């Protein structure tokens, strides 16, 4: 006897006939991904290997180029240039720091008043900065001393004027006859002056314009002033422009 369910218009579904269509589709995508990944990995591995070979080659070329460039460097040429440059720099340094003692004397002349007499003079060069002058000066009065100090201070070249050891005394001058003696006041003092080197530069070009031949040593006996005509041996020497 058939049950009531057999007459139902709703079809019966057997559990064994059910198809798992969704599961097979997932496996297909997974397979697809795995194949792509595998091929991509193999391709990229090959590509990376080949690119590495190319980069290695490029590195070898770069190293070779650097070694070649280093090999073309000349140590001897470099030493020649650096030595020439250093010699030039040393010569230029001495030239730039050269100073004129004549200019110092000129400055002192210009800054010395008529009533003043310089008894002794000492100059000392302090590196390449300045000349320090110590002078023992004698004059006839304190007023002259003050005036002289003012002239030193107003001078544009001389700097750092310091007047010390001011002493007054009397000098007795004996005339032709022993009875004639003349006493005159003396004020002596020590002047310390400083002159910056940049104020008294030597100017070789001006010398060359004025006296082009004066630097050549001369074996001829120069004319001596009358007061210096003292017997002296003058050895015969050869003229040599290259003195060093």
Partner 1 sequence: MMMSKNLFIQVAMIAISIGIIITFVNPTFSEIGEQQDDILVYQTEQQKVSGVNNQLSSLITSLNNVASDDYRRLLTYMPDEVDTIAVARDLSLVSRQAGVLYISAVSRGVVTNANSPDNASSQDFIQPKEHMFSLNVEGTYDTVKNLFALLEQNNYPIEVQNVNVQKKGGGLLSVEIGLSVYAYENSPADQEIVF
Q: Footprint of partner 1 on residues 119-178 (CB under 8 A)? A: 119-125
At its nearest, how many Å lie between partner 1 and the CB of residue 215?
5
At its nearest, how many Å lie between partner 1 and the CB of residue 164?
19
Q: Which of 25, 58, 154, 162 binds partner 1 (CB under 8 A)?
A: 58
At its nearest, how many Å lie between partner 1 and the CB of residue 240?
8
Q: Which of 62, 110, 153, 171 binds partner 1 (CB under 8 A)?
A: 62
Q: Which of 25, 63, 110, 198 binds partner 1 (CB under 8 A)?
A: 63
* Alpha carbon separation from 27 to 30, 38, 69, 83 (Å, rounded): 5, 16, 61, 82
Q: Footprint of partner 1 on residues 189-218 (CB under 8 A)? A: 202, 204, 207, 211, 214-215, 217-218
**154 half-sphere exposure, CB direction, 13 A CA radius:** 10
* Alpha carbon separation from 49 to 57, 99, 163, 190, 195 (Å, rounded): 12, 74, 90, 92, 78
Number of H helices, E strands in the chain: 5, 4
With CB under 8 A, what is the number of residues at the site for partner 1? 86
The whole-angstrom separation of Cα 70 and Cα 63 is 10
Task: Give yes or no for residue 232 binding partner 1 (CB under 8 A).
Answer: yes
The whole-angstrom separation of Cα 115 and Cα 222 is 34
Per-residue interface string for the shown chain with partner 1, residues 70-109, x marking contact by CB under 8 A: x-xxxx-xxxxxxxx-xxxxxx-xxx--xxxxx--x----
At its nearest, how many Å lie between partner 1 and the CB of residue 4?
40
Q: Which residues contact 172 (CB under 8 A, 6 or more apart)?
A: 181, 182, 183
């Amino acid at each position: 006897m058939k049950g009531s369910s057999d007459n139902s218009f709703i079809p019966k579904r057997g559990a064994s006939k059910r198809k798992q269509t969704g599961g097979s589709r997932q496996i297909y995508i997974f397979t697809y991904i795995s194949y792509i990944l595998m091929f991509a990995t193999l391709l990229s591995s090959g590509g990376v290997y080949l690119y590495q070979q190319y980069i290695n080659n490029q590195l070898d070329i770069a190293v070779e180029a650097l070694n070649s460039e280093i090999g073309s460097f000349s140590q001897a040429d470099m030493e020649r240039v650096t030595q020439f440059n250093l010699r030039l720099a040393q010569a230029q340094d001495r030239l730039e720091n050269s100073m004129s003692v004549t200019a110092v004397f000129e400055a002192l002349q210009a800054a010395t008043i008529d009533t003043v007499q310089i008894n002794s003079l000492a100059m000392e060069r302090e590196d390449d900065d300045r000349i320090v002058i110590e002078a023992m000066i004698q004059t006839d009065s304190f007023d002259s001393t003050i005036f002289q100090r003012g002239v030193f201070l107003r001078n544009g070249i001389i700097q750092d004027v310091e007047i010390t050891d001011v002493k007054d005394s009397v000098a007795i001058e004996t005339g032709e006859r022993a009875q004639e003696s003349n006493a005159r006041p003396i004020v002596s003092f020590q002047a310390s002056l400083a002159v910056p080197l940049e104020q008294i530069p030597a100017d070789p070009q001006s010398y060359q314009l004025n006296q082009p031949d004066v630097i050549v040593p001369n074996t001829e006996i120069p004319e001596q002033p009358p007061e210096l005509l003292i017997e002296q041996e003058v050895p015969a020497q050869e003229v040599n422009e290259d003195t060093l």
